[in-house]
Chains A and B, each alone.
Chain A
């Protein structure tokens, strides 16, 4: 029986206790439901909650602690020469036992002690499962009985049920904070470990990036260099190309749509631009690597330019295409929000429509547009799939868009994909890069959101 069936049984128990609770309330009211403090259904919910919540809490706690408790018990039962082993060797033994328990293929021959330990492990698992079931059912039935015994005419069941729900709502709303906290802590923790091996200044100002560390001590040419400057310049180069494509096209599209386009054209083009925003980035990456990059290379050849097949240009242009709708929809919103009275004032002075837009509407909307562009930059910096598929892996320190560069996100992916151990600087470097990425995008976002909020207040 899978442990999740326990939850299913508990749910059924909860449904049953709902009906018991409601019937009890009706009985207590002696047929006159109006004499009750709350509607009878609330007494049902009250009973069901008492039945379910304690048992579910125990269930969750049990799931998290079961394996650790059993492992400790099994280790305690092992012969002394095993328990006195070093921590790593002990871990190997435990892994072997666990593999045996879950019927995985075990490489070496099994010593009788290990086999016995595995047998004990299995027994304890079975016992633990039965105990969990017994405890859950006891708590469920006990909770429901307790709740039933509390039901009387003046019992405020509704308030109690509603308070429980409110606590649940509050708990859910704190998830956002815990997510941010989780991101910061997980990235920071690993990054600090990394900075213990590699000094912060070497990382932030070093000019050479080659994260291959030696597998054997004394190996030649594999000392590992973690100077992230080439990654930062590569990221900036690709993002700059993207912005050169996205900002003019996005901004001019937004102006045209907001000021010139007929309602019919607006209704048609706006959703089509949004389609660009809805296309997954992996599709853009494929497009960049297989269509745009060869196109640029062929084009360069015919002009006598050597364009790398993983050029920053191809990745940047495609990223720009991806960001166009982002810039245009944000600018469109702020341009739309500029009050009509400003435009009317300019027209009455004899300005043409384009003069009105350039001299009045754009300056009025500028803070919002700048904020939109900042958000777009943060998007470009954090974009991963396009650069992973279309930009290179070699860390070149160059400003030439025709050469191949690598970016922060590309390196995070290359360092972390595949098997990894958590104690080598190579893996930890990825978290340090992640920390930089998080901080930079966070700063950009905070500034942008602040500007937008300020701007909104101006015209409200």
Chain B
């Protein structure tokens, strides 16, 4: 019997046979990893691209050049130069008069209304502010650039299809013809959009600005910083340097870790129920917004500050205690100065998060339509991210670019804050 037994395969042959497949799966796995990172970065790029490409045009605004005659007869017939007379005078007819001068052949009521619609309602405010600042302008004639209506702006920026059917357009054919005429005379031009940075909110897109929201954000963050920084540092110092090991301290730690992960909208509910409903603080005020955001950022600051305190080596404390300093003196004069950069870094990052937070502010009513610039922490106000939310809801096409522009400003602030935190960390980071 000489049956041929197949030779028992050697391990090395088995390995060699499967090697190609294993190498392929290695390459595949690695490729998937790389693709994942690329996808994540691509999402980041898409996000920035979509915001910037929509928003950069908002920094320039279409203006129309008008020859304005500050008619003494119309504005201040009695030549009183009195404040009240000047402020309540009819400036919009000045604008209308100069438009009629540009297009003398427009006579019908309907066409006149369309002609006047080319210029923003803000033009009259601009003229009023000029006269209020300098009453000597009365009787003079000046060449002025005034903001155009948002529809004109959109047309110039190419967001309105000028060849589409007239009924589906926000501008009539005759209006476009006038605009072409103005453009040919170089009386139509894109200028830096000062109003966007100087105004509060407005129903007219061309007059809407972020200054009010920005001030609201600043007041809110001021309250947040003043409350959360000292409290956060004090808590961290107590837990790191003084607290004995006990159930009570454990409870505090569990609470802090949990609060760090509670959804921000829950903090809004807290603010609504406690500060507004129970303690009847004013609605929409940066004071309440700041309080709510302070509670929200407190865990971040505490955790960062504890990390900073932990990284101070024990030898520093021992040396101070060794020469007779009390525990408090050791902490105050030796540990805290060394931990300050780390604490500040954590605080800045917490503030950056608070600046971008929207949901809790919606709960406490900082979502109202507010035109005035807030002047203290009790005034009704919105915040920058809330303004973005409000504009994103507005139907006018012109608000899309304004929303994106406001986002660019917000991201700019966040970038500066984070860069500051990184610089601080790099500069003062010490390896012991």
Give residues in A with beta carbon < 8 Å to B.
158, 162, 165-166, 168-170, 172-177, 179-180, 182-183, 186-187, 189-190, 248-253, 255-257, 259-261, 269, 272-273, 275-276, 278-287, 289-291, 321, 324-325, 328, 350, 352-355, 357-358, 375, 378-379, 381-385, 388-389, 409, 412-413, 416-417, 422, 430-431, 434, 437-438, 441-442, 445-446, 449
Q: A162-B328, A284-B47 are in contact. List 8 more A-B contacts (CB 8 A).
A: A173-B243, A177-B251, A179-B255, A179-B270, A249-B36, A252-B35, A273-B44, A353-B30
Which residues of chain B are near A416, meaning CB under 8 Å?
269, 272, 362-363
Q: Are B262 and A442 in contact (CB under 8 A)?
A: yes
A-B contact pairs, 22 of them (CB 8 A): A169-B242, A173-B235, A176-B255, A179-B270, A179-B295, A179-B298, A183-B262, A183-B270, A187-B266, A256-B37, A272-B41, A276-B44, A278-B353, A279-B356, A280-B385, A280-B414, A285-B389, A286-B407, A321-B47, A350-B15, A354-B25, A412-B265
Task: Mark interface residues in B36-58 (1 if CB within 8 Å of A CB, else 0).
Answer: 11011101101100110010000
A446–B260 Cα gap in the complex (Å)? 12
In the complex formed, the residue of A with least CB distance to B360 is A384
B410 is contacted by which of A256, A269, A280 (Cβ under 8 Å)? A280
* Residue numbers in B under 8 Å from A350 (CB-CB): 15
Q: Are the CB atoms of B34 and A283 closer together than 8 Å? A: no
Residue of A nearest to B392 (CB): A286
- Do B33 and A256 have beta carbons less than 8 Å apart? yes
A269 adjacent to B29 (CB under 8 Å): no
Asked, given contacts A278-B414, A413-B359, whether A166 binds B352 with beta carbons under 8 Å apart, the answer is no
| Residue with the highest number of chain A CB atoms closer than 10 Å, among B37, B251, B356 | B37
- Interface pair B29/A358, CB less than 8 Å apart: yes
CB distance B44 to A175 under 8 Å?
no
- Chain B residue contacts of A273, Cβ below 8 A: 37, 40-41, 44
Give 3 nearest A-B pairs by CB, closest first.
Answer: A382-B263, A280-B356, A256-B33
Q: Which residues of B contact A409 (CB under 8 A)?
A: 263, 265, 359
User: CA separation between A378 and B242, bound complex, in Å?
Assistant: 33
Q: Which among A260, A354, A422 has the highest number of chain B CB atoms within 10 Å?
A: A354
Q: Quick one: closest A residue to B266, CB to CB?
A: A438
- Of B243, B266, B299, the most chain A CB neighbours within 10 A belong to B266
Contact across chains for A281 and B356 when beta carbons are under 8 A apart: yes
Residue of A nearest to B363 (CB): A416
Partner of A183, one of B242, B266, B404: B266
Chain B, residues 305-346, CB within 8 Å of chain A (1/0): the string is 000000000000000000000111000000000000000000
- Choose among B259, B264, B358 the residue with the greatest number of A CB atoms under 10 Å from its CB: B358
Chain A residue numbers with a CB within 8 Å of B259 are 176, 179-180
- Contact across chains for A282 and B33 when beta carbons are under 8 A apart: no
Tell me whether A283 and B231 are in contact in the complex, defined as CB-CB below 8 angstroms, given that A248-B36, A354-B25, A385-B389 are known contacts. Answer: no
Bound-state Cα–Cα, A382 to B400, Å: 27
A102: min CB distance to chain B, Å? 12
Tell me whether chain A's interface is mostly helix, strand or loop, or mixed.
Answer: helix
Contacts of A255 in B (CB 8 A): 33
Residues of B within 8 A of A431 (CB): 269, 273
| Residue B238 CB within 8 A of the other chain | yes
The smallest beta-carbon distance between B323 and chain A, in angstroms, is 14
**Contact-residue bracket for chain B:** 35 or more
Inside 8 A of B226's CB, which chain A residues have their CB? none
Q: What separation, in Å, do the CA atoms of A54 and B239 have in the docked complex?
A: 27
If A249-B39, A283-B51, A434-B269 touch, does A378 touch B235 (CB 8 Å cutoff)? Answer: no
Contact partners of B326 in chain A: CB under 8 A: 158, 162
Q: Is the CB of B257 within 8 A of A449?
A: yes
Complex interface: chain B residues within 8 A of A285 (CB): 389, 392
A158 and B359 CA atoms in complex are apart in Å by 46
Contacting residues, chain A, for B386 (C-beta < 8 A): 282
Q: Are A434 and B356 in contact (CB under 8 A)?
A: no
How far is B393's CA from A132's CA once the two chains are assembled, in angstroms? 48
Give the nearest-CB partner of B296 in chain A. A179
Contacting residues, chain A, for B34 (C-beta < 8 A) = 256, 260
Chain A proximity of B400: nearest CB distance (Å): 7
**Which residues of the other chain, B, contact A379 by a CB distance below 8 angstroms?**
261, 263
Chain A, residue nearest B355 (CB): A280
* A285 CA to B390 CA, complexed, in Å: 12
Partner of B33, one of A173, A252, A441: A252
| Chain A residues whose CB sits within 8 angstroms of the CB of B365 once the complex forms | 417
Q: Which residue of B lies closest to A174 (CB)?
A: B252
Residue in B40, B44, B274, B404 whose beta carbon sits within 8 Å of that of A182 in the complex: B274
A286 cross-chain contacts in B, Cβ below 8 A: 51, 388, 392, 403-404, 407
In the complex, A257 Cα to B30 Cα: how many Å?
11
Question: Which residues of the partner chain B approach A281 to less than 8 Å between Cβ atoms?
Answer: 356, 358-359
* B22 contact from A158, A269, A355, A438, Cβ within 8 A: A355
Residue of A whose beta carbon sits closest to that of B368:
A418
What is the CA–CA distance of A437 and B262 in the complex, to the nearest angstrom? 9
The residue of chain A having its C-beta at the shortest distance from the C-beta of B272 within the complex is A416
B256 sits at the interface (CB 8 A)? yes
With A165-B328, A175-B231, A252-B36 in contact, do A445 and B258 touch (Cβ < 8 Å)? yes
Q: Are A186 and B235 in contact (CB under 8 A)?
A: no
A272 to B40, CA, bound (A): 9
Complex interface: chain B residues within 8 A of A287 (CB): 47, 50-51
Tell me how far the C-beta of B267 lies from the nearest C-beta in chain A, rounded to whole angstroms: 8
Q: Which of B46, B258, B356, B363 is A446 in contact with, Cβ under 8 Å?
A: B258
Report the bound CA distance from A276 to B352 in whole Å.
14
Interchain CB contact under 8 A, B36 and A438: no
- Cβ–Cβ < 8 Å partners of B278 in chain A: 186
Interfacial chain A residues near B148, Cβ < 8 Å: none
Chain B residues within an 8 Å CB radius of A388? 359, 389
Q: Is the CB of A280 within 8 A of B357?
A: yes
Nearest-neighbor residue (CB-CB) of A163 within chain B:
B328
